[in-house]
Copies of this chain bind each other. A is one copy, B any other.
Amino acid sequence: MLNFTFSNTTKIVFGKGVEEKVGKEAAVYGRKVLLHYGGGHIVRSGLKARVEASLREAGLEIVELGGVQPNPRLSLVQEGIELVRREKVDFILAVGGGSVIDSAKAIAIGVPYEGNVWDFYAGKADAEESMPVGVVLTIPAAGSEASPSSVITNEDGWLKRGYTALVMRPKFALMNPELTFSLPPYQTACGVSDMMAHIMERYFTNEPEVGFSDHLCEAALRSIIQEAPKVIAEPENYGARANIMWAGTIAHNDLLGMGRSEDWSSHNIEHELSAIYDIAHGAGLSIVFPAWMKYVYKHNINRFVQFSVRVFGVEQDFFNPEQTVLEGIRRLEEFYRRIGLPVRLQDAEIPADRLEEMAAKATANDTFKLGAFLPLGQKDVLAIYELCR
């Protein structure tokens, strides 16, 4: 087990009606709040009005910036930074899912920084401070509500890049599972795929003696696999929605990766897909992750046997570990299909004519390798894209 530091300071307020507390929670951090959100859904559902009423009741002044798109854009972040500076905003409230939260985090580290906020995502600078950010979560998926990470897409070259700094962890996240009742099945499924990927990126490690976090990762995966078909079949099943929502936070609040080296190559391989084709991140992951598994499992076959047996309950073939592993990957694909997700490029109507370009971009023309489990060069990444066909 590796040495580690775990410090998760995000206050989670979870359950029915908790969004009504947003004014009280936000008032701790200032008097003027940027209300950051995406499209019209939170307007139509009445959530925006409820949030605004709570903020006003707590004596807060509201500045608005909507329009965050999936795969949130750098241009809106820059608009947000200027708006916050001009209006002297004290606090940023993200009402939405991962894209809105990631955009809010980018604004929050951009405001006190003199250079271009993209410097952080381009690996040219480190964020030493951040404005405080709070969250009213509407989509369980990205885990951004309690993570120190943000992913932004730069329209200039369609570069999708992530950045992590502890100062970016939100101060609080208000999580009411009822707010997720209206999520369409496909978006629900994409969220499930995203949180599973967050766990699997941590699970597939070469670090020995991490039995406790292995068990925690497997528990989270099994629970998600058990609850996901329920939320697809019964969108208003509170218990199933609650378990999925809470699992999505734990999947990515760092707990499950403590003491382990993490991989993250599947995320990077997927980012090229969603940057070019604007496919939902979770749908890209359900295509990429099984392909990555097929390419790397021989590197540490025992870990994949453990995954198949403990997560998917595969009856172990003690004389043929490969058989056990392939059955586990098959069941993962079957699970993705069952909840309506693509597992091949053609399922998502993505052509296979730019695989070489994506492999080159993902590795910057083979100048660095992706992942820690089995570091992957440009040729490896191309082979994984080929396995997605």
B7 touches A14 (CB 8 A): no
**Size of chain A's interface in residues, with CB distance under 8 A?**
46
Taking CB atoms, residues of chain B closer than 8 Å to A1 are 15, 238-239, 242-243, 246
Is A218 an interface residue when CB atoms closer than 8 A count as contact?
Answer: yes
Q: Please tell me how many copies of the chain the complex holds.
A: 2
B15 touches A11 (CB 8 A): no
Is A223 an interface residue when CB atoms closer than 8 A count as contact?
Answer: yes
Sampled A-B contacts (5; CB under 8 Å): A1-B243, A6-B12, A7-B9, A209-B240, A216-B219
Out of B11, B215, B250, B259, which one reaches A5, CB within 8 Å?
B11
Is A211 an interface residue when CB atoms closer than 8 A count as contact?
Answer: yes
A residues apposed to B, CB below 8 Å? 1-18, 208-216, 218-220, 222-224, 226-227, 238-240, 242-243, 246-247, 250, 255, 258-259
With A6-B11, A246-B258 as known contacts, state yes or no: A208 contacts B18, CB within 8 Å: no
Complex: A215 Cα to B224 Cα, angstroms:
10
Taking CB atoms, residues of chain B closer than 8 Å to A13 are 5
B4 touches A14 (CB 8 A): yes
A227 touches B243 (CB 8 A): no
A214 nearest in chain B by CB position: B223
B219 touches A215 (CB 8 A): yes
Complex: A126 Cα to B120 Cα, angstroms:
45
Taking CB atoms, residues of chain B closer than 8 Å to A2 are 15
For the complex of A and B, list the 5 residue pairs with the smallest distance between their C-beta atoms, beginning with the closest. A209-B239, A3-B15, A219-B219, A215-B219, A7-B11
